[in-house]
């Protein structure tokens, strides 16, 4: 039986109303929960408890190995603002605050370098209003970091900032501002922050190829280009060779043309479904704790001592399984050999 069109339209309208009502209810419930949680955390007792738990966890993790270079793909700022019905600018501001908070944590843990994917070259295709917002916010955060890095009372004191990427795509005013901030913080040796802005891995490799070829043509000795020389020509200098831990938020399982060279070997890539502004200390802590645990096992095994073999050797002889000798005739027949050149 065919449903009349007027009834069909009413059913569609009713379905949309139900969906919108459910979304509004979920938004209101989430907003109320965040307010309650914020009120609880504002109480002095809970605030003191949270800070002390955080300090204890940091002290525990600092005992073991920590990654030297941690990198973030800060994804989810726009969706964060949209989910809260806020301007896109507010989402990016919240993301900047999250990065600053995690920088403090990484520096306290003993991480030597943090890099962050702040702006891709392909982001220039976004609406001009959003690009301008990101540029202005980036300028403000540059000045803020430089101020903190030179304030001996701040925990980021002694830090150095480097802006890496294709600066030819930026305005002359922005390039001058970047050079000024880098010059102010160049004396920082304790901690290095690389802001990839604007950046892609393909552009990074192209930059390295151009510089390597140019130096090769100018070098009268004509020394050969090797992996080490090529790597050192990349934007991040010493830290171009590796990135022990790469974290991407917002649920996407891709690298988006970022750090392809740096994570090619012995790197851990972690994906989180959390939007970047909501990415908390505990989420990052668990990822670094996991990395530290497996790194400890790997380093132990690299000393030619298998952890399981060591545990097995410690067992009483009565519990060990006796090994029976194997005869040569018990081995399987070798596979049939085939010549790939066609010769007999």
What secondary structure letter does DSSP report for 199?
B
Give residue 34's pLDDT: 63
How confident is residue 302, by pLDDT bands cut at 50, 70 and 90? confident
The 8-class DSSP code of residue 104 comes to: H
| pLDDT, tens digit, 9 for 90 and up, residues 14-68 | 777 776 677 666 656 666 666 676 666 566 667 778 788 888 999 999 888 999 9
CA gap 129, 241 in Å, rounded: 36
Q: Which CATH entry fits the domain spanning 69-301: 1.20.120.1200, 3.40.1180.10, 3.10.310.30, 3.40.50.720?
A: 3.40.1180.10
Q: List residues with catalytic annotation.
A: 75, 123
Query: Cα–Cα distance between 119 and 169 in angstroms, integer?
Result: 12
Residue 92: its pLDDT value, please? 93
pLDDT averaged over every residue in the chain: 84
- Residue pair 122/77 in contact by the 8 Å Cβ criterion: no
Query: Tokens standing for 101?
Result: 């908070």
Q: How confident is the model at residue 189 (pLDDT cuts 50, 70, 90)?
A: confident
Structure tokens at 192: 């290095």
CA distances from 280 to 70, 95, 208, 298, 303 (A): 15, 11, 35, 28, 35
For residue 30, what pLDDT is reported?
63
pLDDT tens-digit profile of 317-334?
656 566 667 676 777 777
Whether residue 111 contacts residue 70, with contact meaning beta carbons closer than 8 Å, is answered with yes
Average pLDDT over residues 273-299: 92
- Place 112 in a pLDDT band, splitting at 50, 70 and 90: very high
CA 196 – CA 71 distance, rounded (Å): 10
At residue 1, the pLDDT reads 52
pLDDT of residue 237: 87
User: How much is the pLDDT for 322?
Assistant: 64
Please name the residues in contact with 273: beta carbons below 8 A apart, sequence gap of 6 or more. Answer: 249, 250, 251
Digit-coded pLDDT (tens) for 244-264? 999 999 999 999 999 999 998
Residues 130-181 pLDDT 10s? 899 889 999 998 889 989 998 988 989 999 999 999 999 999 999 999 999 9
Task: Indicate whether 76 pLDDT > 60.
Answer: yes
CA distances to 112, 307, 308, 317, 318 from 314, rounded to whole Å, are 38, 11, 10, 9, 12
Give the length of the chain: 344
Q: Residue 56: which residues within 8 A CB-CB, separation 6 or more?
A: none
Residues 6+ apart with CB under 8 A from 225: 212, 213, 216
């Amino acid at each position: 039986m065919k449903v009349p069109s007027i009834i069909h339209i009413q059913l569609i309208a009713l379905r949309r109303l139900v969906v919108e009502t459910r979304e509004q209810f979920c938004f209101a419930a989430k907003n109320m929960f965040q307010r309650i949680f914020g009120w609880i955390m504002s109480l002095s007792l809970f605030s003191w408890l949270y800070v002390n738990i955080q300090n204890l966890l940091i002290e525990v993790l600092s005992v073991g190995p920590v990654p030297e270079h941690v990198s973030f793909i800060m994804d989810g700022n726009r969706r964060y603002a949209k989910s809260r019905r806020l301007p896109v600018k507010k989402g990016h501001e919240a993301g900047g605050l999250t990065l600053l908070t995690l920088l403090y944590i990484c520096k306290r843990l003993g991480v030597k370098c943090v890099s962050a994917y702040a702006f891709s070259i392909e982001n220039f295709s976004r609406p001009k209003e959003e690009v301008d917002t990101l540029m202005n916010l980036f300028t403000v955060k540059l000045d803020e970091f430089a101020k903190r890095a030179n304030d001996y009372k701040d925990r980021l004191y002694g830090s150095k900032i480097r802006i890496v990427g294709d600066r030819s795509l930026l305005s002359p005013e922005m390039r001058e501002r970047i050079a000024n901030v880098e010059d102010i913080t160049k004396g920082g040796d304790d901690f290095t922050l690389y802001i990839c802005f604007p950046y892609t891995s393909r552009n990074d490799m192209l930059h390295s190829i151009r510089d390597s070829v140019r130096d090769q043509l100018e070098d009268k000795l004509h020394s050969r280009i090797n992996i080490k020389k090529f790597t050192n020509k990349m934007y991040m200098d010493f830290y171009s060779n590796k990135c022990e831990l790469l974290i991407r938020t917002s649920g996407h399982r891709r690298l988006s043309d970022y750090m392809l060279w740096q994570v090619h070997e012995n790197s851990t890539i972690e994906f989180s479904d959390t939007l970047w502004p909501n990415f908390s200390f505990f989420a990052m802590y668990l990822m670094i704790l996991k990395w530290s645990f497996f790194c400890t096992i790997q380093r132990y095994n690299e000393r030619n001592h298998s952890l399981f073999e060591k545990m097995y050797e410690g067992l009483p002889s009565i519990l060990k399984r006796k090994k029976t000798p194997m005869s040569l005739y018990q081995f399987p027949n070798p596979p049939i050999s085939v010549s790939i050149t066609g010769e007999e």
